[in-house]
Amino acid sequence: MSALPSQSLLLIADSCLVWGHRLSEWCGHGPQLEEDIALTNTALDVIGQARLLYQLYSSRAGNGLTEDKLAYFRGPDAFQNVAIAAVENGDYAQTVLRSLILSAWFVPLWRALAVGRDPELAAIAVEAEKAARVQRRHASDWTIRFGDGTAESRRRIEHAISTLAPWVPALLATEIDGTDRAHRENEWRAFVAEVMAEATLAAFPVNANGDHHAFEANAKQALSALLHEMQSLAREHPEAVW
């Protein structure tokens, strides 16, 4: 067995948890009941993946760590998530677009890990890839509807693109041991290009322009607020079992 380095495990797990948290914020507030249920489903998928990865990490670390200690008792500086996962939801267009960006990133990542050298992780990745494909389909369908829907929906999806695009270069540059980063990036670019074309939108602007320090500071601030809420009750009762 050749285990994936623990930092990569944490990066994937934290990204799943943080994204799942954002999706769960929609629960009960979706634009229609079917969408409420769909977003909850994605949240359940990715939080479930985070749990499996934390459990794997903990079993390998072997120092009394648990999934809940990892999720609830680390601060924002210790979280390894890709920054875009923590960005606030914004409107439904921004939520859907973030799902497209992340699921299109996760599909090739899980596929690579599913055939990788770490069999325990591969077992998780096989199922996770199937879920990510469903998420990617759902997010693509809505991106297309928004681009090729009404003037209002087009305005909103274009605004979402300009809001989220600055986080994409760092996402695509993220190295995960045991996977071919360039290959994953190519698949992401090809998939997103196809969706943008069908949505009658301009090509997705992947470029490294902009004030990266400002983006990083914003992302950290959003993550801090998210963790403050998520961890509040658990930290109030550190000895409790729930």
Partner 1 sequence: MYTQAIDTDPTLRTSAASDDGAAEDAFLARIADDEKIEPQDWMPEAYRKTLVRQISQHAHSEVVGMLPEGGWITRAPSLKRKEILLAKVQDEGGHGLYLYAAAETLGVSREQLIDALHSGKAKYSSIFNYETKTWADIGTIGWLVDGAAIMNQVPLCRCSYGPYARAMIRICKEESFHQRQGFDIVRALCEGTPEQKAMAQESLNRWWWPTLMMFGPHDSDSTHTGQASAYGIKRISNDELRQKFVDVTVAQAEFLGLSIPDPALRWNPARGHYDFGKIDWDEFWRVVNGQGPCNEARMNDRISAFEEGRWVRDAASAHAAKHAARAVARAGALEAA
Among 5, 6, 7, 29, the residue binding partner 1 under the rule CB under 8 A is 29
| Distance in angstroms (rounded) separating the CA atoms of residues 234 and 239 | 9
User: Which residues contact residue 138 at a Cβ distance below 8 angstroms, ignoring those fewer than 6 apart?
Assistant: 38, 42, 99
The reply on whether position 68 binds partner 1 by CB under 8 A is: yes
Sign of CA pseudo-dihedral 220, 223, 229, 231 = negative
Q: At 117, phi and psi to the nearest 5?
A: -90, 0
Taking the least distance from each CB to partner 1, the nearer of 93 and 172 is 93
Residue 27, interface with partner 1 (CB under 8 A)? Answer: yes
25 binds partner 1 (CB under 8 A): yes
* Least separation in angstroms between CB 239 and partner 1: 6
Q: Which stretch binds partner 1 (CB under 8 A): 49-57, 97-105, 182-190, 206-214?
A: 49-57
Residues 120-159 that bind partner 1 (CB under 8 A): 144-146, 148-150, 152-153, 156
Closest CB to partner 1 among 105 and 146? 146
Buried (b) or exposed (e) across 173-182, using 16+ Cβ within 10 A? ebebbbbeee
Q: Is 31 in the site for partner 1 (CB under 8 A)?
A: yes
The token pair that represents 44 in the structure block: 């359940």
Q: Is 198 in the site for partner 1 (CB under 8 A)?
A: no
The full length of the chain comes to 242
The nearer residue to partner 1, 24 or 218, going by C-beta atoms, is 24
- Quote the tokens at residue 204: 């997705």
- By CB under 8 A, residue 163 contacts partner 1: no
Give the Cα separation of 234 and 227 in Å (integer).
Answer: 11
- Which residue in 142, 242, 234 sits closest to 195, CA to CA? 142
Provide the H-helix boundaries in the chain: 6-24, 33-61, 67-72, 92-114, 119-147, 151-164, 168-172, 181-198, 212-236
Per-residue mark of binding to partner 1, 69-108 (x: CB under 8 A): --xx------------------xx----------------
Cβ contact 142:124 at 8 Å: no
Select from 37, 115, 197, 217 the one that contacts partner 1 (CB under 8 A): 37
Binding partner 1 (rule: CB under 8 A), the pick from 33, 62, 182, 213 is: 33
Site residues for partner 1 per CB under 8 A: 17, 21, 24-25, 27-37, 40-41, 43-44, 47-48, 50-51, 54, 67-68, 71-72, 91-92, 144-146, 148-150, 152-153, 156, 229-230, 232-234, 237, 239-242
